Amino acid sequence: MGLGPTKRIGEWLGTAERATGFARLDAEAFPAFEPGWVWLTGAGPGAPGLMSLMCYHALQTCDVVVYDALVNPDILRWVKVGAELEYAGKRGGKPSPTQKDITHRLIDLARAGKRVLRLKGGDPFMFGRGGEECQHLALAGIPFRIVPGITSGIGGLAYAGVPATHRDTNHSVIFLTGHDATGNMPASVNWAAVAKASPVIVMYMALKHLGEIAAALMAGGRDGGDCVAIVSNASMPHQQTAETTLAEAGAFVASADPPTPAIVVVGGAADWRSLLDWYKGAIRDNPIG
């Protein structure tokens, strides 16, 4: 028996709605990507199938894509034929363009009348400097749209069988970054407060300083036996997860050297992995996710 009234998609549908697969979307009135606009868009954590419909629409209608290192190159297969691709990440040996360079480039491209798709990994507003880019676009009078994406700290963890919240584990979750603009462990974070504030702590960019962070959390009263899961390349066929404890996390990273990008989760949410880990075996053969 169903949980409520059951309906079946009926005969009253028009021809377009009866189309199957992605063809049905062709009849939908997606917002027009106007020349001179910048769409600041999240591509999701990696697996191409995790992008939003709005992101796909933007890939299909843009003139230029300015993309970051964390964007899975497989996603760029879905860009409209003829669109230009501009890489805004680090290039072998050479320093990466500064945030200022990138912002200026976006403004120049928009002023030249291009439809500019600024494509970022995960969600553009989660530790992705999307806020800074938008701020400069706004100040320069460039019209923009923000297309949120699935962030690695939620969707990436889901691919490792870690629910960011679970009623038996945690009623709150903290997201934080393990390094600040200077590359150091962020001094503005009140580590003692974080240690006590939430049973689950999700950390981006945290591998480099994980030992120091773990020490600060333990000094703040966090149990050294707390589970720490490190999920590398989440949602990608080469995803891998390592588990350690807070007390051993620093030494573990130094010896095992887990691949990056990696998301770190501290606390009981990681205990669900033993039951919920689902992204394994033949499932991983599908590059869409």
User: Applying CB under 6 A, does 261 fall inside the site for ligand SAH?
Assistant: yes
How much is the CA Rg of the chain, to the nearest whole Å?
A: 21
User: Residue 125 Cβ, how far from ligand SAH at the closest point, in Å?
Assistant: 8
Binding mask 195-214 for ligand SAH (x = CB under 6 A): ---------xx---------
User: Applying CB under 6 A, does 263 fall inside the site for ligand SAH?
Assistant: yes
Cite the beta strand spans of 38-107 per DSSP E: 38-42, 64-67, 84-87
Is 223 part of the annotated catalytic residue set? Answer: no
Please report the DSSP string for 170-197 in residue order.
Answer: BS-EEEEES--TTSSPPTTS-HHHHHHH
Is 205 part of the annotated catalytic residue set? Answer: yes
Euclidean distance between CA atoms 25 and 30, whole angstroms: 9
Binding mask 49-88 for ligand SAH (x = CB under 6 A): ---------------------x------------------
Please report the DSSP string for 136-169 in residue order.
Answer: HHHHTT--EEEE----IIIIIHHTTT--S-BTTT
Binds ligand SAH by CB under 6 A, chosen from 41, 103, 152, 169: 152
Euclidean distance between CA atoms 66 and 59, whole angstroms: 11
Tell me which residue has its CB nearest to ligand SAH.
122
Picking from 100, 90, 104, the residue whose alpha carbon sits closest to that of residue 129 is 100
Binds ligand SAH by CB under 6 A, chosen from 37, 39, 46, 118: 46
Quick one: which segment of 96-104, 139-147, 242-250, 261-269 binds ligand SAH (CB under 6 A)?
261-269
Quick one: which segment of 76-84, 101-109, 115-123, 164-172 binds ligand SAH (CB under 6 A)?
115-123
SS3 213: helix
Exposure class string for 208-226: b at 16+ Cβ within 10 A, else e: ebbbebbbbbbeeebeeeb
Distant-in-sequence, close-in-space partners of 161: CB < 8 Å, separation ≥ 6:
272, 273, 275, 276, 277, 278, 279
User: Residue 6 Cβ, how far from ligand SAH at the closest point, in Å?
Assistant: 37
Cβ nearer to ligand SAH, comparing 116 with 160: 160
Binds ligand SAH by CB under 6 A, chosen from 106, 234, 246, 270: 234
Q: What DSSP character marks residue 244? A: E
Picking from 180, 177, 69, the residue whose alpha carbon sits closest to that of residue 119 is 69
User: Applying CB under 6 A, does 121 fall inside the site for ligand SAH?
Assistant: yes
User: Applying CB under 6 A, does 289 fall inside the site for ligand SAH?
Assistant: no
Residues designated catalytic: 68, 90, 205
**Could you list the residues that contact ligand SAH (CB under 6 A)?**
45-46, 70, 120-123, 126-128, 151-152, 156, 204-205, 231-235, 261-263
